[in-house]
Chain A
Amino acid sequence: MTESELFQRYRETGDRELRNLIAEKYLYIAAILAKKFVGRGVEYDDLYQVASLALLKGIDRFDERKGLKFSTFITPTVTGEIKNYFRDRSRLVHLPRKVSELRAAVKKTADELTESLGKRPTAREIAEKLGVSEEEVLSSQEAGGVVSLDRPADEEGMSFYEVIPDTDDVFDRIDTHDAISAAVGELSEDERRLVGLRFTEELSQAETARRMGVSQMYVSRMERKVLEKLRERLRKSMA
């Protein structure tokens, strides 16, 4: 059976066994793409899982009548999901040993600077804040190794999540909430819908795309533009 026939039959019958067959046939794409993103602080197995789930979702959305090859269709979808995973993973920190220690510091500083600068920091900005060289920052990103915040941090079984203090000030949060509400209010209807689906309902880009009836790439681009607009408006309102 050709690729097109396989997808046509699955589309017509919705047969789960056929879907499994397709998934097994193309699982190698998930493996290849997961490998491409190793070295950014997430284990290969986790990336492979994210990629495999994206593959399954993609199988349901693929329409062979549009003339695209499945591998060409699925690669951006899986890539998008992996990149979302990097953005969303907030419950992971790096082990504090040698390179891992610097890696953890880089991650923490990058998060802090993203908040204070309103944009993702450069390696130079991170290096200046940490008092290390840019080269050290860059090479620390080449090393791997992460641990879950749910992992015990001490002998009493407290997790890292429980022992790391929440540094947010409640009044700051109220100010931030007001500023964000005002900035979101200035967005178009479609943009507000995207913000609601992505950041209130916390849906993936793929699911947001499905609900809005557009492609995942479109959502990705729109999201980037919306975030830029919001950052700009927040910067102005806080100036």
Chain B
Amino acid sequence: MNTIFELIFPLRSELLTSVRLAAGGMCALKGLDIEQTEDCKVCITESLLLLKHRGYSSASVRFFEGEKLSVRIEGMGEGEAEESAEDEISLALLSALLGEVGMTEKGGRLLAVSFEIGS
């Protein structure tokens, strides 16, 4: 699958709005409706929060060419992992909004979250 667009950035809360805006742009390019676009933005934000809570200092968000809009959110760098009670809610929210979510793990540590959105 070819990457259409990739964002790499430090995992800082103040950058999430920019990421959401960029995600909105990609959804528009792919022709997703407003509701799917909003869901996509929520899912990307939740995935980034999951990675942040696992100690990653940066992340990449990649959008791929395909029938639907495919997104892969990957942690970069190392750091101290901090457990968060909200993670469980984030995971359940991702499942509720997307149905199928791909979790790439290594040695029990989350490396990336990927999903497809669109009809």
Contact = CB atoms under 8 A, between A and B. Distances in A.
A8 B90 CA distance: 26
B86 A32 contact: yes
A33 B86 CA distance: 10
Interface string A73-110: 00110011001001000000000000000000000001
B33 interface: yes
A235 interface: no
A29 B85 CA distance: 10
A109 to B, nearest CB: 10
Interface in B94-119: 95-97
A236 B74 CA distance: 43
A36 interface: yes
A120 B35 contact: yes
Contacts of A72: 88, 91-92
Interface string A11-48: 00000000000000000010011001100100000000
Contact of A141 (B24, B88, B97): B24
A123 B37 CA distance: 9
B21 A71 contact: no
B25 A79 contact: no
Given A75-B93, A135-B25, A138-B25, A121 B88 contact: no
A124 B28 contact: yes
Nearest to A71: B88
Contacts, number: 71
Interface string A130-154: 0000110111011000000000000
A141 B25 CA distance: 12
A75 B89 CA distance: 6
A123 B27 contact: yes
B33 A36 contact: no
Interface in B67-94: 86, 88-89, 91-93
Given A120-B33, A141-B38, A71 B24 contact: no
B7 interface: no
Interface range for B = 20 to 34
Given A120-B33, A124-B31, A76 B96 contact: yes
A122 B28 CA distance: 6
A40 B93 contact: no
A211 interface: no
Contacts of A193: none
Nearest to B32: A122
A124 B26 CA distance: 11
A129 interface: no
A33 B116 CA distance: 22
B53 interface: no
A29 B86 CA distance: 8
A121 to B, nearest CB: 6
Nearest to A220: B96
A69 interface: yes
A137 B21 CA distance: 11
A139 B21 contact: yes
Nearest to B94: A75
